[in-house]
């Protein structure tokens, strides 16, 4: 996963398999982070059970479970901004252009943000997979290459390129010269 890239697919089947593999990888990652978050919240319950951030976090975790594979619409702080209501101190400190935190609250926040981001990517990849099915119905067949633009690991655009004639007819040419010297005396 590179974030922004351009990939060429030589068939819709290859593109669909690639997108399906990415969906599976993101789902596994989201599940890992969800388990990590659950463990964190269980371990924090005794010390932070009555705090507002903890109660909000456990409620948001229940929403993640309830919504399953759909995108989580939990309200998270904007990236780069510290969380906190008026009168509620933030656990984040700005340093050298990044935010730092040393609390379980901060760890829970980044886990929620990561899960939300991953679920958004899964949703984008599933929409793209549905678009691939629509392209298949158009009957573009084997005469097209698909140059695909990925932004933030999600395909956004496809350029359809006609395959060259040699690729279309399945022929393959191999030409070489071989020189052998000094084998016979």
Element at 98 (helix H, strand E): strand 98-100
Q: Is residue 175 part of a domain?
A: no
If one counts the domains in the chain, the total is 1
143 pLDDT above the threshold of 60: yes
Residue with tokens 């010297």: 181
Q: What is the reported pLDDT for 119?
A: 94
Residue 146 structural domain = 5-69+93-168
Q: Residue 117, Cα to own-chain centre: how many angstroms?
A: 8
What is the rounded distance in angstroms from the CA atom of residue 89 to the CA atom of residue 87? 6
For the residues 93-97, what does the mean pLDDT come to? 89
Which candidate, 126, 136, 148, 164, places its Cα nearest to that of 12?
136
Q: Is residue 20 part of a domain?
A: yes
pTM: 0.68
């Amino acid at each position: 996963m590179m974030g922004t890239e351009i990939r060429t697919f030589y068939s819709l089947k290859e593109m669909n398999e690639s997108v399906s593999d990415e969906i599976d990888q993101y789902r596994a990652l989201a599940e890992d982070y969800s388990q990590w978050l659950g463990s964190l919240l269980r371990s924090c319950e005794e010390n932070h059970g009555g705090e507002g951030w903890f109660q909000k976090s456990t409620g948001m975790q229940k929403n993640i479970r309830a919504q399953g594979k759909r995108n989580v619409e939990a309200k998270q702080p904007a990236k780069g901004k510290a969380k906190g209501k008026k009168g509620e101190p933030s656990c984040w400190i700005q340093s050298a252009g990044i935010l730092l935190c040393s609390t379980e609250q901060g760890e829970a926040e980044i886990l929620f943000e990561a899960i939300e981001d991953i679920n958004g990517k899964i949703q984008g990849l599933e929409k793209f997979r549905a678009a691939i099915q629509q392209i298949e119905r158009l009957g573009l067949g084997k005469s097209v290459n698909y140059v695909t633009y990925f932004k933030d690991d999600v395909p956004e655009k496809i350029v359809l390129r006609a395959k060259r004639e040699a690729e279309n007819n399945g022929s393959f040419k191999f030409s070489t010269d071989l020189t052998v010297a000094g084998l016979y005396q």
